[in-house]
Amino acid sequence: MFDQLSGRLEKMMKFLRGEGKVTEKNMTEALKMMRLALLEADVNYKVVKEFEARIREKALGEEVLRSLTPAQQVLKIVRDELTGILGGQQKALIFAGSPPSIFMLVGLQGSGKTTTCGKLARWVAGIGKNPLLVSFDLKRLAAQAQLKTIAASLGVSFYEMTPDEMASPRDALKELMIFARNRAFDPLIVDTAGRLHVDEDLMEELRLVKDILKPVETIYVGDAMTGQDAVRSAQAFEEKIGLTSVILTKLDGDARGGAALSIVSVTGKPIKFVGVGEKPDKFDVFHPDRMASRILGMGDILTLIEKAEEEADTDEAQELARKIRKQEFTLEDFRKQLVQLKKMGSVSGILGHLPQVGPLKNLAKAEVDDSKIAHFVAIINSMTSRERENPKLLNGSRRLRIAKGSGRPVHEVNQLVKQFQDMQKMMKKPQLQKMLGGLK
């Protein structure tokens, strides 16, 4: 969803790359490009203004590292500042000291609250919790039914409110707490009603529910596709009922990113998760630093690794991270990755997370289908283990032998070797190494 913004920022970097050093004049030009890029991405204008001022100050100030080129300096500053406006450090969910912790999800109609209740329940179950879903949409019976269906499909427990309980939510909560404590449920994830607009009626109902529940997390669920509208309504919810965090949904759509880039600055509340599709697993922990890198086209190899960890063997994924860090990544590892990719099936989904540089970009562009992966795997299979460890051995005659052995043309062997070498180069980049440094 940040494609357009990424493209424009890339242009700005390209411009700076052509400049000998950072000057008042070229920074003014570069910042103008950046300002337009951000405004076009529907970022709140106040946020843009402050962002620009900070970057100008840092880029022209003392903090600049002389060893870096102007483009690198600015890239670093922009990356750090982008991470900042996205919230800085990743913020974890808060759990109550004495269970059950209550998470109350609020937001406008259709923003994805009910869907997100399910996703969140699935996610916390994945970290060993025992969630209970309940709907405090006190007026619409159908709302309960929707959540009940979601709970059943996920195998998550659901507490059904009787019409009597819905009429007196205060008593309902007492029953609910006894039920939850007896069965050691934690957290209690509470769905609420939505309206098309922020109206007093809704706010009153939500204030009442919040007052009864005393949630440890009041989570605003915002539809990223609605851009600044989502930001404005978040602000209204923050003022009228108070929030602790934000979940943005529909980041898979053609949102331009403005909501994500403005909402933390405007509300002061962290984005903790993002929804990236309708299915329950289309839900990611939000990492400001990785998102910033992704916007700047540095890709997101960490998210890739996380995905791999989820879907594949954890030890292997950690070993992969270690190898990339130590620059020991070989063709054999590349082969394993390709096989893994093929197993996961969701090639395009995974590729979206890969660094948008070097070979993977080409892979993504070529819209790799499974047969392409199969061909690459066949080629590597035809190499000796020494060749896999050390591709420098691959001279003309060896390449010819491998082509014959795998039944693929020589130019495809060359292409594979070239892509692998580009990938190795990319993995040596300090930014990537720094990112991996934080990964145990």
Tell me, residue by residue from 259 to 298, as one string, x for binding to ligand GTP by CB under 6 A and - for no binding: ----------------xxxx---x----------------
| Under rule CB under 6 A, residue 253 binds ligand GTP | yes
DSSP assignment of 27-89 equals HHHHHHHHHHHHHHTT--HHHHHHHHHHHHHHHHSTT--TTS-HHHHHHHHHHHHHHHHTTSS
Residue 190, classed as helix, strand or coil, is: strand
d(CA 379, CA 410) in angstroms, rounded, equals: 10
Tell me, residue by residue from 187 to 226, as one string, x for binding to ligand GTP by CB under 6 A and - for no binding: -------x--------------------------------
User: Residues 132 to 171: which contact ligand GTP by CB under 6 A?
Assistant: 143
Name which of 31 and 134 has its Cβ closer to ligand GTP: 134
| Under rule CB under 6 A, residue 352 binds ligand GTP | no
| Under rule CB under 6 A, residue 122 binds ligand GTP | no
* Closest of 213, 210, 268, 263 to residue 240, by C-alpha: 210
> Rounded to the nearest whole angstrom, what is the least distance from the CB of residue 28 to ligand GTP in the complex?
39
For 288, residues 6+ apart whose C-beta sits below 8 A from its C-beta are 83, 84, 86, 87, 88, 89, 90, 271
> Rounded to the nearest whole angstrom, what is the least distance from the CB of residue 109 to ligand GTP in the complex?
4
Among ligand GTP, Mg ion, none, residue 275 binds (CB under 5-8 Å by kind): ligand GTP
| Under rule CB under 6 A, residue 316 binds ligand GTP | no
Strand order in the sheet with 245-249: 157-159, 132-135, 188-191, 102-106, 217-223, 245-249, 271-275, 283-285
**In the structure encoding, which two tokens stand for residue 382, read together?**
């035809």
Burial classification of residue 365, based on how many CB atoms lie within 10 Å of its CB (0-12 exposed, 13-18 middle, 19 or more buried): exposed
**Cis status, amide bond into 359, omega within 30 of 0:** no
Name which of 197 and 425 has its Cβ closer to ligand GTP: 197
Name which of 143 and 291 has its Cβ closer to ligand GTP: 143
> Rounded to the nearest whole angstrom, what is the least distance from the CB of residue 208 to Mg ion in the complex?
18
Return the sign of the alpha-carbon dihedral for residues 382, 387, 390, 395.
negative
Name which of 257 and 297 has its Cβ closer to ligand GTP: 257
Residue of the chain from 76, 113, 122, 353 that contacts ligand GTP (CB under 6 A)? 113
- Count residues near ligand GTP (CB under 6 A): 19
Name which of 70 and 258 has its Cβ closer to ligand GTP: 258
Name which of 101 and 135 has its Cβ closer to Mg ion: 135
Contacting positions for ligand GTP (CB under 6 A): 107, 109-115, 143, 194, 249-250, 252-253, 275-278, 282
